[in-house]
Amino acid sequence: MTLFRKLLLATGLAAAILAPVAASAQDIKPRIIRFGYGLSESSNQGRAVKFFAEELAKRSGGKLKLKGFGDASLGNDIQMQNALIGGAQEMMVGSTATLVGIVKDFGVYDLPFLFNDEAEADAVLDGPFGQKLIASLNEKGLVGLVYWENGFRNLTNSKRAVTKIEDLSGIKLRVMQNPVYIDMFNRFGANAVPLAFSELFTALETGTVDGQENPVTTILSSKFYEVQGYMTISRHVYSPWIVLASKRWYDGLSADERKILNEAAVASRAFERKDSREATTQSLALLKEKGMKINELSAAEVARMREMVKPAFDKYAAEGGAELLKDLQAEIAKVRKP
Ligand code: TK8
């Protein structure tokens, strides 16, 4: 070691001089990342996108700039997925349920009453089962980074309080564009209408549909209480969101950039789940304040619903999903607290 170097180290100057060298040695280019999402900027989804943007900026010295586009301004979930595949858009977050046109297996999460609580969902989604499904997106031109929480879904409608399954009879109920949802709600006696989320508020307002189902956070942030008088806490499906990148774009990133992106995504997952869970309790109270009539589905009624949708599980299994469903149920059993 030269005397000069010794001196530098001794005086602590070394850190000051060597640190910027190390940072610039990282291969990061200035990039704009167009990140689309369906909910509003003030929703739990919007807050998490903002957090993600800040994390990326922090970790890349301001070079990776994420620009969020809320309210489906870049298109609905399905349109954005295709823009990612084609390379016209870099990133998005949306429901796993709308991915079924690209990877059918994502429909397995939509079978009702699989998860009992958020902890089970986290363990399975972040564990080998969820990660294997994510990996299956690669050959379709997408990279799945992490799952965020959309949440347990509940029913709302403009017609009547739903305290038993029969109350759903004849209700035109908007569902996501996904065969498992259509099948499930038709079995419950509703009239399931698949529709993009971006068209939902207007459809409720004009009476094209009578009801919909979503987590309470979304029911609040999308102002569905303005056009829906009744809500039933049914928690019929735990719905994940998934953060996606265009594979074409992702493959062009340097290893350093990919590392930053992946680490920021993992950080955003922790933020988003915590934030959404806190918001769930608050949302429920606010929806009451807004005047929604809210009831909780009884355990007995949930049991009847479970019984009623058994054929939906059989149908899913018969149509090629048997092994996947078995795997998922086994994973849930592993993480379930006795
Ligand atoms: C937002 C949707 C939404 C979902 C739905 O783009 O469509 O009902 O719950 O969160 O992905």
pLDDT digits (tens, 9 = 90+) for 212-230: 999 999 999 999 999 999 9
Domain tally for the chain?
Answer: 1
Instruction: Tell me which of 200 and 18 has the higher pLDDT.
Output: 200
CATH code for position 203: 3.40.190.170
44 within ligand 1 shell (Cβ under 6 A)? no
List strand residue ranges (DSSP E) for 115-210, in order.
Answer: 142-152, 154-157, 172-175, 191-194
The answer as to whether 17 is a domain residue is no
How far is the C-alpha of 210 from the C-alpha of 200, rounded, in Å?
11
> Taking a C-beta distance cutoff of 8 angstroms, is the pair 49, 66 a contact?
yes
Looking at residues 139-143, what average pLDDT do you find? 98
217 within ligand 1 shell (Cβ under 6 A)? no
> Which atom of ligand 1 is least distant from the CA of 153?
9
How far is the C-alpha of 119 from the C-alpha of 54, rounded, in Å?
27
The answer as to whether 5 is a domain residue is no
Average pLDDT, the chain: 94
Can you give the residue range of the structural domain that contains 176?
30-335
* pLDDT exceeds cutoff 80 at 203: yes
The answer as to whether 186 is a domain residue is yes
- Report residue 50's pLDDT band, with 50, 70 and 90 as the boundaries: very high
* pLDDT exceeds cutoff 60 at 209: yes
The answer as to whether 289 is a domain residue is yes
What are φ and ψ of residue 36, in 5° steps?
A: -100, 150
96 within ligand 1 shell (Cβ under 6 A)? no
- Report residue 338's pLDDT band, with 50, 70 and 90 as the boundaries: confident
**Sign of the four-CA dihedral 316, 320, 322, 328:** negative
User: 266-316, pLDDT tens digit by residue?
Assistant: 999 999 999 999 999 999 999 999 999 999 999 999 999 999 999 999 999
How far is the C-alpha of 136 from the C-alpha of 275, rounded, in Å?
28
> What is the predicted ipTM?
0.98
The answer as to whether 304 is a domain residue is yes
The answer as to whether 123 is a domain residue is yes
Instruction: Name which residue sits closest to atom 10 of ligand 1, judged by CA.
Output: 95
How far is the C-alpha of 226 from the C-alpha of 292, rounded, in Å?
9
- Report residue 20's pLDDT band, with 50, 70 and 90 as the boundaries: very low
User: 102-112, pLDDT tens digit by residue?
Assistant: 999 999 999 99
224 within ligand 1 shell (Cβ under 6 A)? no
Closest to 49 measured CA to CA, from 252, 228, 221: 221
> Taking a C-beta distance cutoff of 8 angstroms, is the pair 154, 283 a contact?
no
The answer as to whether 6 is a domain residue is no
Looking at residues 19-30, what average pLDDT do you find? 70
Mutate to test the pocket of ligand 1, among 176, 204, 219 (most ligand atoms within 8 A of CB): 176
> Taking a C-beta distance cutoff of 8 angstroms, is the pair 212, 174 a contact?
yes
Scanning the structure block, which residue is given the tokens 């609905």?
A: 76
- Report residue 25's pLDDT band, with 50, 70 and 90 as the boundaries: confident
168 CA from centroid of ligand 1 (Å): 21
The answer as to whether 7 is a domain residue is no
